[in-house]
Structure 1
């Protein structure tokens, strides 16, 4: 092992290498994280067999949790998508809220739908509703689109079982109940301000018509409303895992350790059990009861694991990055530096995540890199369970701000709304930045009381 300064320098170079591989070499994030971890391990003076051990420990320790949760969540979300559950939520909420409050309905729709469904998939499913409303009212698509995007983006970043917060929680060892609670507390005001409020402002300022490439068929709902699942069944299926996980967290705080009730609630409220139960219920109520064969349900579940696979591997590589920092001794040094620093740990987590996000674009890579750097620091400090939950949302907030041309989400919105690059910066980028800073502001304020 070298001096403290040398180890810090090696870590900085490792992060620089990671950014170079992702940004310039366009190397897949999974491979880039592994290479950066190898560099830090070897350059810091670890024995070669210790470097291999770090990889095994980091990958295995992280995937033991993340693979199950993300895999189950992906199957749950795909069944919701295929059955038309997302459309049912949107149509019912828009009808209930009425034309005058349709922006609030779209924001809430995005917030709920993105819990089990990936953001880009949810946008593809729901964008025809935005087109249809814009066509009927002659308003800018942004008037309806920004609230929907804000709802989708907030949940995508803040509320498990979406992959981002799940990955960070896994690396930091945070309890998902606290993450869900603080994610909702930070996310709802962020969605309201960045969604309906900002959407109304920017929709009146920039008038964007429905893109020319959109055909009338795309604006029409493919499914007859009578064929869609019921609104209540969809809401209940989405809420079941969240409620079970939250009950698990609450019971751990208020019930005695030797209580049978606490043991039972801890078991059924563990993310593994909660998501398994919810996924099985989804297969039955949205699959079997709606006429899908066993083979069709199996194919839907299998297909859903394709996009989940890369998320699982990237998160596992983030675990390797974390473990290498710990085994190399860098974690101890960073922890000691943090212990003597006046900088709040929640703010540090936000700043690290923001830096990586702006530099290379990917919110997932930003979250995982920041979590990897924060994990050894946390291990050196006395951090409570609620504070770990706040740190997850702080990192997620930093990974949300300042989305620009190096972010795939930027171009997704640019294409679907037919915007210029300048208009995308004025709309999507500002919306994302509002979400990130409001989310951080909420958790930073809460951090003074936990």
Structure 2
């Protein structure tokens, strides 16, 4: 006997996905539309709110706004943000505004995306302020991101107006104020009411992730498998917003010198979970010391009560298995994890790269020592050839060496440093030649 049900498939971050397919009980199925998915998530949020004393705040009226917030796809906005940051800046004031986030074109994106246009600019400004106030409640639950409609609900207005043609900016402001009031009341109760904390965590986390649902025909008297296949982009930058971190410039530099790959995975959608990460690239290995697991707020999990049942770190793979019940609690920060893997070239490539960097630096020191410091000597062509040829030949081969995309990414900082030293070396030799301190022939 079979039954047709709307089945929850899995929990996925809102990132670009390729070749996404779902197979249930041997049959390929398709997920429901994004709009229907957002409506179901909005109903679930209302269900959680009705379990708290906050149900008197009229959560049913919020469903259109919540559905628009949870439906929002950050992919289009991500492209707009990238295009804005590629624009050249011609005035120092623009650099200052960009560092403060003032040039992030979120508001411009919303204004352009609303089909009917912004009819009441004053009301739109007030909507913008309420949306920013809602984002101020985020810090305790998930990481901040400029692409989350839950953090900045103004992003959901185009979808809200599209799904509800009769709505105006005044109506949107009324809904935003009602949502803000609900979230503020929940935030005030979270210290003594776990249900309020769960409500807030669910709302803000829906800005970073979505739950796939699909209509499936399943057997009622037999077990079956749910198989999901997808390709997902890798995060190389930290998931935290740069302007909200201390020493962000130093950490960004460390990410360039010591590259890390990050993945955001669900780790509490079953009684037991197992994650296995392998590196198929023969020129790349995992660093055991730098590979770790962080909670949803990007804090490293190190205390003994939070250790998993099993964890293995080698140069070839990382695996983590856990079946402890405490990670299944609604307020647990271990339901979704950031897995951070340090990437290193193989030892031969690592020593070769640093060896040529040291050799090029040593050649620069020789040129400076004999050509500029103390009593400068006149160098002949044999001296220049002895210093330049081995270093230039070896460094050039290393710079143009064919490698994979991942291999190029992890060694781009070392290649940039090597290229800088090589150009500096030839620049110094050219200066000596102009000054007449290099004898040719």
Q: What is the TM-score when the length of structure 1 is the normalising length?
A: 0.24
Larger % of helix: which? 1
Rg larger for: 2
Whose relative contact order is higher, 1 or 2, with alpha carbons under 8 Å and at least 6 apart?
Answer: 1
